[in-house]
Amino acid sequence: MTPPDSLRLDNPLWQFALRLWNDDAIADVCLSLQSEGWSVTRILTAAWLAANGVRWDGREPDGLPEWRHQVTEPLRSLRQRLPRDHEGIAPMRHDIKSAELSSERTELAWIHAWHDRECHNLLNCPVDNPALLTRNLRAAAPGQRNTEETLMIQLTDALLCSGKQRRDTDAQGGTT
C-alpha cells in the first residue's frame, strides 16, 4: 500500500487534473459521480489517458486501490461527517480537506509514474476522441455495476467541450 519513493507530485496528469477541475461543469459532474461511488482520480486518469490516445482497461498500480480505500476514502468520510457551517471546527475540516486533496494528488502521482513506465512519454493532447473517452470512463466505473448514463454523457460532453475551448484558445495565441 505504500506509494513508490520516486513520486513527482507535479506531473502532467496533475496539471491536466487542475485544468479540468477549474471547469465548474466537469467538477460538478465528477462530484456527482463521486457521490455514486466513483473515484475522481480514476475519472481524471481515464480522461487524461484518452487525451493522450491511450485505451485504459481500468488497471492501476499494485497497492493504489488499498491506498484509496484506507487513506483517501476515510479522510473524505471524516470530512463529510463534519458540519460545513460550524465555526469552531472549520479549521479542522479545512485541514482534513487539505489532507484528502494531498492523498488524491498522491494517487495521481502514483498513477502517472506507473503509466509513464508502462506507456512511455505520453503527450498531452486535447480530449477529442469521444469513443475512447467513453471507453476509458467505463473502465473507471466502480466495480462491474452499470454506470449512471446521464452523468456519463454530461461528463463526456463537458470534457470534450473543455478540450475544444483549450484548442481554440491555443489557436488564437492564448494560453491555458
Domain-located, residue 31 = yes
Q: How many domains does the chain have?
A: 1
What grid cell was written down for 114?
506507473
Domain-located, residue 4 = no
Domain-located, residue 5 = no
Sorting pLDDT into bands at 50, 70 and 90, what band is 153?
A: confident
- State the sign of the Cα–Cα–Cα–Cα dihedral 59, 125, 8, 15: negative
Q: Of 74, 71, 70, 67, whose CA–CA distance to 1 is shortest?
A: 67
Q: Of 64, 62, 53, 33, whose CA–CA distance to 154 is shortest?
A: 33
The average confidence (pLDDT) of the chain is: 85
Domain extent, residue 157, equals: 12-171
The DSSP symbol for 127 reads -
Question: What string of H, E and C letters represents the secondary structure of 62-119?
Answer: CCHHHHHHHHHHHHHHHHHHCCCCCHHHHHHHHHHHHHHHHHHHHHHHHHHHHHHHHH
Q: Of 114, 161, 136, 109, whose CA–CA distance to 48 is shortest?
A: 136
Given a cut of 60, whether residue 44 has pLDDT beyond it is yes
C-alpha to C-alpha distances, 113 to 2, 8, 109, 149, nearest whole angstrom: 14, 8, 6, 31
Given a cut of 80, whether residue 123 has pLDDT beyond it is no
Q: What is the pLDDT of residue 132?
A: 82
Domain-located, residue 7 = no
78-95 tens-digit pLDDT: 999 999 999 999 999 999
Query: How many CB atoms sit inside 10 A of residue 143's CB?
Result: 6
Sorting pLDDT into bands at 50, 70 and 90, what band is 52?
A: confident
Highest mean pLDDT among 3-17, 115-129, 131-145, 157-171: 3-17
Question: How many percent of the chain have pLDDT more than 70?
Answer: 82
Residue 168 CB partners (closer than 8 Å, separation 6+): none
Given a cut of 90, whether residue 13 has pLDDT beyond it is yes
Q: Give the start-end residues of each E strand in the chain.
A: none
Which amino acid is present at 40? V
Domain-located, residue 148 = yes
Domain-located, residue 6 = no
| CB of 109 closer than 8 Å to CB of 9 | yes
Report which of residues 154 and 165 the model is more confident about: 154
What grid cell was written down for 6?
520516486
Given a cut of 90, whether residue 97 has pLDDT beyond it is yes
Arithmetic mean of pLDDT, 92-105: 98
What grid cell was written down for 48?
487524461
Arithmetic mean of pLDDT, 140-166: 71
Domain-located, residue 138 = yes
Domain-located, residue 111 = yes
